[in-house]
Amino acid sequence: MTKIALQAAADPESRENLEKTLLEPVVLSELSSIRGTGIAEELATIYPGDMARIGGVKSGRASEQKAEWEKLQRGDVVLFMRDDMVFLSGIVTYLVKNPDLARELWGEDDKGQVPECIYFVDEVKDQFIPRKTINRLMNLGDDYDWPGFEVHLEEAAAPVVYGYELESHVYFPIVSEDEYKQIVQEIDRTSPLDTEGRARLRKEDGFLRDQLFRGKVIEECGICGNKYPTQFLIAAHIKDRWHCTTEDRLDYENIAMPMCKLGCEELYRRNYVTVIDERVAVTRAKVDSNDLKAILVRLSGRVCPWFKGSRKYFDWHTRLGKYF
């Protein structure tokens, strides 16, 4: 489940830092402190365009802010506030503690300290939400004064995350294979989704996405065959998620495949296309649009490289739609 970090830009230094690296993106290849390192390689897979927005936090006198920063993980939300107004939100993509990078980005303060607890963000959006509104939704009290940096856990964050549709569909928590297997055992298809249920589904999605893309910058859509940056692809269940048994979900190497957000996932989910004997097949669904007909004609007969090992899930999808 998604946590929320509250970052207050209350003093001149924090505002200046925010303007340097959040309001304006940073060119990653120009950062000499990480050039040629594993950090640079990892960031290149996340930001193929070489531009990223970056925030940082000082450890604090008793490492209290460092402890808050350590609660963050990929997919969490950061809200930025100044003048009692949340004006920006972003999704955490990468975390690193690196004083040299912090010094290059923001320099030292008058005590020689740097915000070495660094987080990279994406999906940055303008917001206009009063601090009191966030406080009320998170049961903090109207007059709660945000500290410099503070992370709130899933239960408290949920009303804000879902109320303002802040959750990412690209960046998910990192999940181990053992944790994934445990999550799958706990998913109850018959119960309504509560906060814990949503958290399990996000972790499931994150694991499947990591398994499919494995750090790749570019991958092929299983339906149209076009190659896109992975931000334009989802890890789509071949068999509908809510019809998957526990055994199906544990077959994580075969239950999902990449589908692009530019139309193919929607066409598959709405049963305009399926895959039969390794090839994309157009169904008998009613199509009134000539443009959509032309797209379906182009897709028909394409070889789907994800068919091997997943036949039974594609067969289920075909039978469900009663296509032929």
Per-residue pLDDT of the chain in tens (324 residues, 90 and over written 9): 789 999 988 778 888 988 899 999 999 999 999 999 999 999 998 998 999 999 999 988 878 899 999 999 999 999 999 889 999 999 999 999 999 999 999 999 888 899 999 999 999 999 999 999 999 999 999 889 988 899 998 888 989 998 999 999 889 888 889 999 998 888 776 666 566 777 788 889 989 999 999 878 899 999 999 999 998 999 999 999 889 999 999 999 999 999 999 999 999 999 999 999 999 999 888 888 999 999 999 999 999 999 999 999 999 999 875 554
Cα separation, 148 vs 15, whole angstroms: 12
Residue 317: in which H helix or E strand, if any?
helix 311-321
Q: Sign of dihedral through CA atoms 271, 276, 280, 282?
A: negative
| 315 Cβ neighbours under 8 A, 6+ residues apart | none
For 80-109, b/e burial (b = at least 16 CB within 10 A) is bbbeebbbbbbbbbbebebbebbebbbeee
What is the residue extent of each domain of the chain? 4-163, 177-321
pLDDT of the residue at 10 = 74
CATH number of 4-163: 3.10.590
Cα separation, 116 vs 98, whole angstroms: 5
pTM: 0.80
The percent helix, strand, coil of the chain (3-state, each to 5) is 35, 25, 40
Q: Which two tokens stand for residue 298?
A: 């182009």
pLDDT of the residue at 174 = 87
| DSSP string over 124-151 | EEEEEEEHHHHHHHTTS-TT----SEEE
For 271-299, b/e burial (b = at least 16 CB within 10 A) is bbbbbbeeebbbbeeeeeeeeeeebbeeb
